[in-house]
């Protein structure tokens, strides 16, 4: 049994969902200590409250800032300054934890303190996230506007994690690798047990997940779609015509995802991958200003299993055109390779201590 330190970003639910997918496999053979902030800490601490070989520790973390319903990169940078000021202190506390517990491997999901501490202590470290697709991938097929932003943001992604022994990228799409990153490992999305155990079928309702914001034009379009709509992410509210609102709940959401006609949501990599795995066509509404989600939406359309629209421009006719195309889109979903769980475990095992082989004399004795 190895001991693994695993840190992750606390922004949104996607990081926590991805990490849970691999921890469910790692904990069968190894001890895992998770370091998380914000939403990710809340989700994972509840999931592993009584799990003997998985512990969850809260750490400070970075978070995006929004203004007027749009991701504001400038305000996000300003908000990060106090965190960056305290980062050396956080790294020192990580170093103390490493020296106390002597982990065999550090895994990092877009979190900056553990890689720095692991480097100081000589612990091998693996980068395992979605964001590194911006670093390792040849994105020359992107539209020019997205391609230049991808290059600029890839520089900041590299600042999060340096000195890794390996790079694993989890994504529902797989662009070609850059030549200098030919050793990076591309895998599908990491699927939590609830998704793996779900039994999909085609129902009547449209499932909607809107993170933080529900533009009035989006809700108006949903009222005109001619189908029952189940909305998550905006909190419980009174029933509004064909719109029914639910609190975010894993069991209820996965049940409604497995049985929906189609999904409408922001373009987070994890949820897109889960939807396609369950063969649910998706209309992606990238968060305004969120560049990464714009790229995800581009590859969703290019892969043929869904489409996307600007959140501010969605209206009834545009939504109905998508819903009319759902049967065709369902047939175009490329299911192979979406489940990255086994590939992830295999990739991580390469960096774990290997059990010592029996001495030749021991083999002879056992054969006798």
Residue 302 in 3-state DSSP?
A: helix
Q: Is residue 368 part of a domain?
A: no
For 159, other C-beta atoms within 10 Å of its C-beta total 8
Residues 238 and 308 in one domain: yes
| Tens-digit pLDDT profile for residues 87-146 | 889 999 999 999 999 999 999 998 999 999 999 999 999 999 999 999 999 999 999 989
Q: Are residues 179 and 204 in the same domain?
A: no
| Residue numbers of the domain that contains 127 | 3-190+340-356
pLDDT band at 362 (very low <50, low <70, confident <90, very high): very low
Residue 143, in any domain of the structure: yes
A 10 A CB-CB count for 312 gives 12
Q: Any idea which residue has 């489940």 for tokens?
A: 339
Considering only residues 358 and 126, tell me which one the structure prediction assigns the higher pLDDT.
126
CATH number at residue 315: 3.40.50.2000
Other beta carbons less than 10 A from residue 54's beta carbon: 22
Residues 130 and 211 in one domain: no
Q: How far is 110 from 167, CA to CA, in rounded Å? A: 12
Query: Do residues 311 and 175 both lie within one domain?
Result: no
Give domain status of residue 364, yes or no. Answer: no
Q: What pLDDT shows up at residue 77?
A: 54
Q: Does 75 share its domain with 205?
A: no
What integer best gives the mean pLDDT of the chain?
Answer: 88
pLDDT in tens, 209-258: 987 656 889 999 999 999 999 999 999 999 999 999 999 888 999 999 99
CB 244 within 8 A of CB 298: no
Q: Are residues 54 and 180 in the same domain?
A: yes
**In terms of domains, do 212 and 296 share one?**
yes
pLDDT at 99: 96
Cβ-proximal residues to 128 (8 Å cutoff; 6+ apart), any chain: 22, 107, 108, 109, 167, 168, 170, 344, 348
Q: Which residue has the higher pLDDT, 45 or 52?
A: 45
Across the range 266-287, mean pLDDT stands at: 95
Residue 368 and residue 364: Cα distance in Å, rounded?
Answer: 6
pLDDT at 67: 57
Please check whether residues 271 and 186 belong to one and the same domain: no
Q: Do both 262 and 201 map to the same domain?
A: yes
Kindly state whether residues 118 and 19 are assigned to the same domain: yes
How far apart (Å, rounded) are the C-alpha atoms in residues 171 and 300? 11
Q: Is residue 367 part of a domain?
A: no
User: Considering its fold, how many domains does the chain have in total?
Assistant: 2
Query: Do 35 and 174 share a domain, yes or no?
Result: yes
Residue 273 backbone dihedrals phi, psi, to 5 degrees: -60, -40
State the pTM of this model.
0.87
Q: How far apart are CA 362 and CA 88, in angstroms?
A: 49
């Amino acid at each position: 049994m190895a001991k693994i330190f695993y840190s992750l970003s606390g922004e949104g639910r996607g990081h926590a969902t991805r990490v849970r997918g691999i921890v469910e496999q790692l904990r069968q053979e190894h001890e895992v200590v998770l370091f998380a902030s914000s939403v990710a800490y809340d989700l994972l601490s509840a999931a592993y409250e009584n799990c003997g070989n998985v512990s969850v520790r809260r750490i400070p973390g970075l978070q995006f800032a929004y203004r007027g319903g749009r991701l504001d990169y400038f305000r996000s940078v300003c908000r990060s300054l106090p965190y960056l000021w305290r980062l050396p202190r956080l790294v020192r506390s990580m170093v103390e934890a490493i020296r106390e517990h002597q982990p065999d491997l550090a895994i990092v999901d877009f979190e900056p303190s553990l890689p720095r501490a692991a480097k100081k202590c000589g612990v091998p470290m693996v980068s395992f996230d979605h964001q590194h697709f911006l670093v390792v991938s040849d994105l020359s097929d992107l539209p020019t506007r997205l391609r230049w932003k991808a290059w600029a943001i890839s520089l900041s992604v590299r600042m999060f994690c340096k000195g890794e022994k390996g790079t694993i990228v989890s994504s529902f799409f797989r662009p070609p690798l850059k030549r200098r990153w030919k050793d990076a490992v591309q895998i599908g999305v990491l699927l939590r047990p609830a998704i793996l155990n779900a039994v999909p079928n085609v129902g009547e309702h449209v499932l909607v997940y809107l993170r933080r914001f529900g533009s009035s034009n989006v809700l108006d379009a949903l009222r005109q779609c001619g189908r029952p709509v189940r909305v998550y992410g905006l909190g419980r509210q009174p029933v509004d015509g064909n719109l029914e609102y639910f609190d975010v709940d894993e069991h209820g959401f996965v049940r409604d995802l497995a049985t929906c006609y189609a999904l409408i949501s922001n373009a987070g990599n994890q949820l897109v991958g889960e939807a396609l795995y369950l063969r649910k066509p998706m209309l992606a509404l990238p968060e305004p200003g969120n560049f990464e989600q714009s790229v995800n939406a581009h590859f969703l359309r290019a892969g043929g299993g869904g489409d996307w629209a600007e959140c501010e421009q969605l209206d009834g006719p545009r939504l109905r055109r998508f819903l009319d195309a759902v049967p065709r889109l369902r047939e175009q979903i490329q299911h192979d390779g979406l489940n990255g769980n086994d590939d992830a475990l295999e990739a991580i095992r390469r960096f774990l201590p290997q059990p010592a082989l029996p001495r030749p004399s021991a083999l002879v004795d056992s054969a006798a």
